[in-house]
C-alpha cells in the first residue's frame, strides 16, 4: 500500500501509473473471454454483467439476470439470486431485429403464473423497447430512448461465493 507519493520526478509518476495498470489488469476473470467474436445473439444464454439502468440494482457475481433470444423471435429473462436460478422466467418478450441498422425492438410481458403455462401472458410492459446492439466477444445493448447501456457475456455457469473475480 502506498502511503505517500512524490511527484518530484517523472519517473515516480511513471512507476505509479504502471503499478496501477498492473493491479487493474491482473484481476482474475470469472470466466475466460470468448476467443472469437459472436456472429449472432440467438440461441445463446447471455449473462448481464454491467448496466447503467438504475432500476437494475444489486447486480453481483451471484445475483444477476440471464437473457435468451430464440430463433422464433421470442425471448426470456431469468433471474438468479444467490446462485439459484428461478425455474420460470420473470419476463418474456417478442422481438424483431434489423441487422443492417443493428436494432432490436422488443415487447416485454410477464409470463403466466407457474402451472398455467397454456394461459396468455398476464401483463404487457407497454410500448416496444428499442436497442442498438453490438456483437463482439460479448453482447452490448443501448436503449435508443434512454441511453441505458447493458453489457452481457455468454452465461457459462455460476461463480463460487468465495471467488473474487470480474467479468
Query: How far, rounded to the nearest angstrom, does the alpha carbon of residue 2 sit from its chain's CA centroid?
Result: 34
- Quick check: 24 pLDDT over 70? no
Q: Minimal CA–CA distance to 93: which of 81, 104, 79? A: 104
- Residue 120 within a domain: yes
- Residue 118 within a domain: yes
- Residue 51 within a domain: yes
Return the number of other C-beta atoms located less than 10 Å from residue 41's C-beta: 21
pTM above 0.75, yes or no: yes
pLDDT digits (tens, 9 = 90+) for 36-86: 899 999 989 999 999 999 999 889 989 999 999 999 999 999 999 999 999
pLDDT digits (tens, 9 = 90+) for 96-154: 999 999 999 999 999 987 766 655 555 566 789 999 999 999 999 999 999 999 999 99
Question: What is the domain count for the chain?
Answer: 1
pLDDT band at 27 (very low <50, low <70, confident <90, very high): low
- Residue 28 within a domain: no
Q: Which domain holds residue 83?
A: 45-154
- Quick check: 17 pLDDT over 50? no
Using the Cα atoms of residue 81, residue 87, residue 90 and residue 93 in order, give the sign of their dihedral: positive
Cell numbers of 123, please? 401483463
Least confident of 5-9, 29-33, 46-50: 5-9
- Quick check: 165 pLDDT over 90? no
- Residue 11 within a domain: no
Yes or no: say if 99 and 105 are a contact pair by the CB < 8 Å rule: no
In CATH, what number is assigned to the domain containing residue 130? 2.40.128
Amino acid at each position: 500500500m502506498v502511503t505517500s507519493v512524490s511527484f518530484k520526478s517523472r519517473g515516480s509518476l511513471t512507476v505509479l501509473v504502471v503499478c496501477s495498470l498492473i493491479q487493474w489488469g491482473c484481476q482474475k476473470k470469472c470466466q475466460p473471454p470468448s476467443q472469437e467474436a459472436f456472429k449472432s445473439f440467438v440461441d445463446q444464454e447471455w449473462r448481464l454483467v454491467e448496466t447503467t439502468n438504475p432500476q437494475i440494482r444489486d447486480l453481483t457475481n451471484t445475483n444477476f439476470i440471464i437473457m435468451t433470444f430464440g430463433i422464433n423471435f421470442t425471448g426470456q429473462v431469468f433471474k438468479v439470486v444467490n446462485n439459484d436460478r428461478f425455474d420460470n422466467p420473470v419476463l418474456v418478450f417478442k422481438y424483431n431485429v434489423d441487422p443492417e441498422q443493428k436494432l432490436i425492438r422488443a415487447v416485454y410481458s410477464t409470463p403466466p403464473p407457474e402451472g398455467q403455462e397454456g394461459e396468455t401472458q398476464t401483463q404487457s410492459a407497454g410500448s416496444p423497447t428499442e436497442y442498438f446492439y453490438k456483437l463482439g466477444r460479448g453482447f452490448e445493448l443501448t436503449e435508443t430512448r434512454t441511453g441505458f447501456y447493458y453489457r452481457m457475456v455468454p452465461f457459462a455457469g455460476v461463480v463460487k461465493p468465495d471467488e473474487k473475480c470480474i467479468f
